A = this chain, B = another copy of it.
Amino acid sequence: MKINKGVEWAAHACSLLGPLWPDKGLPLSALAEFHELPEAYMAKQMQALSRAGIVKGGRGRNGFYVLSKSPKEITLLDILLAVDGNEPMFVCTEIRQNGPCAQASEDCTSPCGIAAHFARAERQYRASLEKIDLESLNAGVISDLSPDNLRDAADWLSENHRTLG
């Protein structure tokens, strides 16, 4: 059970766009360059974020990405589901309805106990990620930076950002 590695990239891209919201953003090339990531694969993640309504823009030669909404309204769960998909981790194939002691489908109106426990665990997983919005995420990321890193990143953002027209 592995999360698509694009989630790490997308989360860091959103983290970079956070301080630029609401009217500034970054071109794809800069988003890829910041962490030395291949641009074509970074583009895929940004498209997934765009489809999910987390970022907008990006199209065209002079295009750039901007968060679609406030960092307070974007959670790590949103980013995970945008990039990794919204399918449940555990899929019950109703094997209880097969075999010599098969349960009748009309008796299977509630989920199998095993499936129900996995679903509950998954709800808790998602709830945990839903609590982390991009604003609090960035507060944590920034407090982890050394003073030098913080200055480097601020300089880089001011050189590379674009402003909505």
Q: Are B98 and A36 in contact (CB under 8 A)?
A: yes
Instruction: Give every chain B residue within 8 A of A110 (Cβ-Cβ).
Output: 144
Q: Are B99 and A33 in contact (CB under 8 A)?
A: yes
Q: Are B101 and A117 in contact (CB under 8 A)?
A: no
Q: Are B76 and A117 in contact (CB under 8 A)?
A: yes
Q: How far is the CA of A98 from the CA of B92 in the complex (A)?
A: 41
| Per-position binary interface string of chain A over residues 107-129, scored 1 when its CB falls under 8 Å from any chain B CB and 0 otherwise | 10010111111101110111011
A132-B117 contact in complex given A36-B98, A124-B125, C-beta closer than 8 Å: yes
Q: How far is the CA of A121 from the CA of B9 in the complex (A)?
A: 18
Interface: A60 (CB within 8 A)? no
**A residues at B contact (CB < 8 Å):** 1-5, 7-9, 11-12, 15, 33-37, 76, 84-85, 87, 89-93, 95-96, 98-101, 103-104, 107, 110, 112-118, 120-122, 124-126, 128-129, 132, 137, 140-141, 144-146, 149, 152-153, 156
What are the 7 tightest A-B residue pairs by CB atom distance, in nearest-first order? A121-B128, A113-B140, A36-B98, A125-B125, A35-B95, A101-B152, A36-B99
